[in-house]
Chain A
Amino acid sequence: MKDEITRDERIDNLKGMGCSRKRVEDARFTQGKGNYVDDVKLDGMLFGDFVRSPYAHARITNIDSAAALEVPGVLAVLTAKDLEPLGLHWMPTLAGDKQMVLADGKVLFQGQEVAFVVAEDRYAAADGIEAVEVDYEELPVIVDPFESLKSDVILREDTVDENGRPTDGAHGPRNHPNHIFTWEAGDKAPTEEVLANAEIVAEESMYYHRTHPCPLETCGCVASMDKVNGKLTLWGTFQAPHAIRTIVSLISGIEEHNIRVISPDIGGGFGNKVGAYPGYVCSVVASIVTGKPVKWIEDRMDNLMTTAFARDYWMKGKISATKEGKITGLHCHVTADHGGFDACADPTKFPAGFMNICTGSYDIPTAYLAVDGVYTNKAPGGVSYRCSFRVTEAVYFIERMIEVLAIKLNMDAAELRRINFIKKEQFPYKAALGWEYDSGDYHTAWDKALKTVDYEGLRAEQAQRVEDFKAGKTRKLMGIGLSFFTEIVGAGPVKNCDILGLGMFDSCEIRIHPTGSAIARLGTISQGQGHATTFAQILASEIGLPADSITIEEGDTDTAPYGLGTYGSRSTPVAGAATAMAGRKIRAKAQMIAAYLLEVHDNDVEFDVDRFVVKGAPERFKTMKEVAFAAYNQAIPGIEPGLEAVSYYDPPNMTYPFGAYVCVMDIDVDTGVPDIRRFYALDDCGTRINPMIIEGQVHGGLTEALAVALGQEIAYDDMGNCKTGTLMDFFLPTAWEVPNYETDYTVTPSPHHPIGAKGVGESPHVGGVPCFSNAVQDAFRAFGNTHTNMPHDHWRIWKTANELGLHD
């Protein structure tokens, strides 16, 4: 047989790894044909919505639903009393705690779910909610975690024994009824000793404010209990559909094979859609009670006020160094405000997530971390907003501590980073707080970043600007924000990562069709990351069929193999690995078929792009397409018909993407308005599968970082009223506020991942927040600023300038 096209053309035709393949998802989305949960419509479907508490802390003395049940269109009103006989008035959180589904005698935060009104449509449900009468007795409100740990007010009755002494929590003893856990990593005494004897010690307290992932689509579900065949189908905004199926089975008693969970198209997740919410449980119960499908969709206020906030970490740091700037020790203590329930979604053994990556990209020989979780009268959560389990907090902490140390040493912060980076030859690197970094080349990335932005030129310009400002020639200061981050993603090895006992592996199942196309199903679920595009590219390169001939499916637990879902940048590191491994199983069987067809021994053929060739005789080959057909139409001795494979992949380690970011900002001292002049982002996510999608992820992650650093927060007053319940108060940047970003990369493949990929979706958020924040703080460094807390909105920036006497 003679080839009509070149080998390079054959590679191009596959649209495999490394090419900017256009997304297959876009045809339906651009034509308004996406299928999100609120687009699901079933015959006779009802609509459920919550009566919510106006108080942050109150006892409920009575709930009267009589008037509501008279409202036309209202069918049922559920309260905790209705759920109690089913054992569903409380539910487990993904953090080892439990959470009220509906208020069980009291409420712990404003907006808490009190009753569930089921009606024929949304308007009737709203009328029903108005008509439910709830009697509240207000209780003292605690919104400050430090006050909570000193208070006589016990927030949760289930945290004390009959003598009022604190009981043990899910992660060990409590030292106060409002205390959730203490979690430690590293060596306390040696760290304290290093700090006590250090030449230089810098200290700082910083508050990483409470914020919210706020995907554009809120959370919701449709529950449909088919009483004829006993099957429950649950559509919803689930970042982990298989885990949701298991949880629903465990708490409802419905056998798992009778539950089908479907995540349809999801309108962004960012961590908001990992956990289980009262709305899911109430919809299921309401469907069982009424015998009809029940839909529940949050409005924006519900979303911002009640589901899955992020951050709210009070961090105290000490960092020690020699006079030359070599870091010798790091000490970190965190007070973590979890609100009324610990409803974060961390692997079981990590109640503070991967906060113990807080030694960052630096070779720090001694370190200690302790985190105390605390209950307050605020919404429950503590989820990872576009980050892998508190990595955002960890990277913010170390990247601020580096800047604070640089000020103390009177040293350039870029140079301080450079002399402390873990060196290329030190990988795999065992960090003081326990992790083994798989790979990295920090110096190369840093040098490339600083050279590209002309760092020295920028510093000279900044120095001139300070002179001009002092001379009254300008009212604008210039800030240079630096950050160098190391992420830890791809949770993770089953030996140390599970959620509710479910190991955090992931999976891929492939079926090759006779005509040489394929379907692959995975345990993950895309929320905009473009899995249908990129996973097909991995397979195209692995099995030699064009990506355009491969359908990717996720999110239906009846058809997809079990997996732990998409969050913490785990899809590519874990499910991407499973995809490659399943592809290799396909290839192994295909090789035997090809050898049979070519009448040679198995070992005498080798894979080349899209075919198997006889070694030394490249004109003799069988394409993968031909092999696929043979798998279904030939009786091959010793080989089963068909061409399918499945892989469940348990990664041997996490992956450690890293990056170097630089932000240049002009700040108007009199208005507090920052103008982002330049943002350069270099990411190293290992092997790059689709550069177009990587860039898109970086743009989006940086924009969410900009939001968090420069204005986005969930704020409460002393009464526990949430002050940021709508998009009027909660900052989401528009096209007007967002700059153009310059993206760049280096490639340091992960040594243990089958294709060397590391994950990128969250890196720009993790690295971006400290970069924007450092830029603001750096602008004021020459005037004595060491640290101010985020969010750096215009008012707070103005206040910083004012406190430094720049308005005098």
Chain B
Amino acid sequence: MSKKTHITLKVNGKSEEFLAEPRELLIYTLRERLNITGPHIGCETSHCGACTVTVDGKSVKSCTMFAVQAEGAEITTIEGIGTPDSLHPLQEAFKEHHGLQCGYCTPGMITRAAKLLEENPAPSEEEIRFGMAGNICRCTGYQNIVKSIQAAAAEMNSSQSSSSEAVGHKTTEAAE
């Protein structure tokens, strides 16, 4: 055990302040300290992506980031992506296209997909498969996940194109 550090960060818009050891992992902070249990632990080696959250605008595997590294950061988890009364189009699309089975990867999968669609609002199938390669699903074989993301992108673009003309196209970052 070593000395505790004072950490402040914001999760889903809410400010949090606590003392934690330097070795405390961000996923532990979220799940055990803040009771945010949407992100899951699958591998603890940043391969599976079940713990994916957004930290300051980037997809992050929270099982391999220390809480101290998130000092001052703004974090979004699945709990901050939609509400029961107003689901994110991805949440609707995953339900509609059977993009999940056991549900364990789903929070990380949707959180990553939301970021992917921000980075690239109209991805090709290949770009989706590449951009989602850091998130493992053991149940679906990905076919319906890809379909869900395509459907959500189409839905988001059709509701956006009514208000704005050009849809920005950025290069998709590879998930690791």
Q: Which residues of A contact B (CB under 8 A)?
A: 22-23, 25-34, 36, 38-39, 41, 72, 121-123, 127, 214-218, 265-268, 270, 297, 299-300, 527-530, 692-693, 695-696, 699-704, 726-728, 732, 734-736, 738, 740-741
Q: Is there contact, CB below 8 Å, between B100 and A31?
A: no
In-complex Cβ contact of A31 among B39, B87, B129, B146 (8 A)? B87
Query: Given the interface contacts A123-B23, A727-B45, does A700 sit within 8 Å of B103 by beta carbon?
Result: no
Q: Is there contact, CB below 8 Å, between B1 and A216?
A: no
**4 nearest A-B pairs in the assembled complex, by CB-CB distance:** A32-B38, A528-B102, A29-B103, A267-B104
* A727 surroundings in chain B (CB, below 8 A): 43, 45, 47-48, 136
Q: Is there contact, CB below 8 Å, between A72 and B1?
A: yes
State the CA gap A8–B133 with chains docked (Å). 44
Q: Is there contact, CB below 8 Å, between A34 and B133?
A: no
* B67 surroundings in chain A (CB, below 8 A): none
Q: Is there contact, CB below 8 Å, between B48 and A732?
A: yes
Q: Is B145 engaged at the interface, CB distance under 8 Å to the other chain?
A: yes
Taken residue by residue from 45 to 79, chain B's Cβ proximity to chain A (1 for < 8 Å, 0 otherwise) reads as 10110100000000000000000000000000111
Q: Is there contact, CB below 8 Å, between B102 and A32?
A: no
In-complex Cβ contact of A735 among B41, B43, B107, B146 (8 A)? B146
| Chain A: CB-nearest residue to B136 | A732
In-complex Cβ contact of B87 among A30, A127, A527, A529 (8 A)? A30
Taken residue by residue from 18 to 47, chain B's Cβ proximity to chain A (1 for < 8 Å, 0 otherwise) reads as 000101100010011001111111111101
State the CA gap A123–B20 with chains docked (Å). 12
Q: Is there contact, CB below 8 Å, between B45 and A700?
A: no
Query: Given the interface contacts A121-B32, A123-B23, does A31 sit within 8 Å of B91 by beta carbon?
Result: yes
Additional 9 contacts, C-beta under 8 A, given A38-B41, A701-B141, A741-B143: A26-B103, A29-B103, A38-B37, A123-B24, A528-B139, A696-B139, A702-B141, A726-B47, A735-B128
* B79 surroundings in chain A (CB, below 8 A): 31-32
* A33 surroundings in chain B (CB, below 8 A): 38
Q: Is B110 engaged at the interface, CB distance under 8 Å to the other chain?
A: yes
* A300 surroundings in chain B (CB, below 8 A): 42-45
Residue pairs across A and B with CB atoms within 8 Å: the count is 167
Taken residue by residue from 94 to 123, chain B's Cβ proximity to chain A (1 for < 8 Å, 0 otherwise) reads as 111010111111110010000000000000
* B146 surroundings in chain A (CB, below 8 A): 735
Q: Is there contact, CB below 8 Å, between B138 and A214?
A: yes
User: Which applies to chain B's interface (DSSP): helix, strand, loop or mixed?
Assistant: loop
* B103 surroundings in chain A (CB, below 8 A): 25-26, 28-30, 34, 265, 267, 528
* A25 surroundings in chain B (CB, below 8 A): 103
* A265 surroundings in chain B (CB, below 8 A): 102-103
Question: What is the distance, in angstroms, from B114's C-beta to the closest C-beta of chain A?
Answer: 12
Q: Is there contact, CB below 8 Å, between A26 and B136?
A: no
State the CA gap A86–B150 with chains docked (Å). 57
State the CA gap A310–B70 with chains docked (Å). 40
* B47 surroundings in chain A (CB, below 8 A): 726-728, 732
State the CA gap A734–B94 with chains docked (Å). 18
Query: Given the interface contacts A217-B102, A217-B104, does A31 sit within 8 Å of B78 by beta carbon?
Result: yes
State the CA gap A32–B67 with chains docked (Å). 21
* B136 surroundings in chain A (CB, below 8 A): 216, 727, 732, 734
State the CA gap A701–B130 with chains docked (Å). 22
A-B contact pairs, 18 of them (CB 8 A): A22-B96, A28-B103, A30-B95, A31-B78, A215-B102, A216-B40, A216-B48, A217-B42, A265-B103, A268-B102, A528-B103, A529-B101, A692-B98, A700-B141, A704-B138, A726-B47, A728-B47, A734-B142
State the CA gap A76–B111 with chains docked (Å). 39
Q: Is B13 engaged at the interface, CB distance under 8 Å to the other chain?
A: no
In-complex Cβ contact of A36 among B48, B78, B104, B134 (8 A)? B104
| Chain A: CB-nearest residue to B80 | A32
Q: Is B140 engaged at the interface, CB distance under 8 Å to the other chain?
A: yes
* B95 surroundings in chain A (CB, below 8 A): 22-23, 26-27, 30
Q: Is B153 engaged at the interface, CB distance under 8 Å to the other chain?
A: no
Q: Which of A121, A217, A265, A734 has the most CB of B within 10 A?
A: A734
Q: Is there contact, CB below 8 Å, between B100 and A735?
A: no
* A268 surroundings in chain B (CB, below 8 A): 101-102, 104, 138-139
In-complex Cβ contact of A267 among B1, B40, B82 (8 A)? B40
Q: Is there contact, CB below 8 Å, between A29 and B100?
A: yes
State the CA gap A121–B105 with chains docked (Å). 25
Q: Is there contact, CB below 8 Å, between B37 and A32?
A: yes
Q: Is B168 engaged at the interface, CB distance under 8 Å to the other chain?
A: no
Question: What is the distance, in angstroms, from B172's C-beta to the closest C-beta of chain A?
Answer: 12
State the CA gap A740–B128 with chains docked (Å). 13
* B11 surroundings in chain A (CB, below 8 A): none
Query: Given the interface contacts A268-B102, A529-B101, does A699 sit within 8 Å of B138 by beta carbon?
Result: no
* B96 surroundings in chain A (CB, below 8 A): 22
State the CA gap A695–B94 with chains docked (Å). 15
| Chain A: CB-nearest residue to B24 | A123
Question: What is the distance, in angstroms, from A734's C-beta to the closest C-beta of chain B?
Answer: 4
* B145 surroundings in chain A (CB, below 8 A): 735
State the CA gap A41–B33 with chains docked (Å). 11
Question: What is the distance, in angstroms, from B106's C-beta to the closest C-beta of chain A?
Answer: 5
| Chain A: CB-nearest residue to B146 | A735
* A528 surroundings in chain B (CB, below 8 A): 101-103, 139
Question: What is the distance, in angstroms, from A298's C-beta to the closest C-beta of chain B?
Answer: 10
Question: What is the distance, in angstroms, from B93's C-beta to the closest C-beta of chain A?
Answer: 9
| Chain B: CB-nearest residue to A725 | B45
Q: Is B8 engaged at the interface, CB distance under 8 Å to the other chain?
A: no
Question: What is the distance, in angstroms, from B162's C-beta to the closest C-beta of chain A?
Answer: 25
Q: Is B144 engaged at the interface, CB distance under 8 Å to the other chain?
A: yes
State the CA gap A406–B91 with chains docked (Å). 49
Q: Is there contact, CB below 8 Å, between B101 and A530?
A: yes
* B50 surroundings in chain A (CB, below 8 A): 216
* A704 surroundings in chain B (CB, below 8 A): 138
State the CA gap A704–B36 with chains docked (Å). 30
Q: Is there contact, CB below 8 Å, between A30 and B141?
A: no
State the CA gap A38–B50 with chains docked (Å). 13
* A34 surroundings in chain B (CB, below 8 A): 103-104, 106
| Chain A: CB-nearest residue to B132 | A735
Q: Which of B42, B45, B91 has the most CB of A within 10 A?
A: B42
Question: What is the distance, in angstroms, from B57's C-beta to the closest C-beta of chain A?
Answer: 20
State the CA gap A695–B145 with chains docked (Å). 13
* A741 surroundings in chain B (CB, below 8 A): 141, 143
State the CA gap A28–B82 with chains docked (Å). 12
Q: Is there contact, CB below 8 Å, between A726 and B40?
A: no
State the CA gap A702–B140 with chains docked (Å). 9
Q: Is there contact, CB below 8 Å, between A216 and B128?
A: no
State the CA gap A378–B90 with chains docked (Å). 44
* A127 surroundings in chain B (CB, below 8 A): 1
* B102 surroundings in chain A (CB, below 8 A): 215-217, 265-268, 527-528
* A270 surroundings in chain B (CB, below 8 A): 138
* A732 surroundings in chain B (CB, below 8 A): 47-48, 136, 138
* B141 surroundings in chain A (CB, below 8 A): 699-703, 738, 741
Question: What is the distance, in angstroms, from A657's C-beta to the closest C-beta of chain B?
Answer: 18
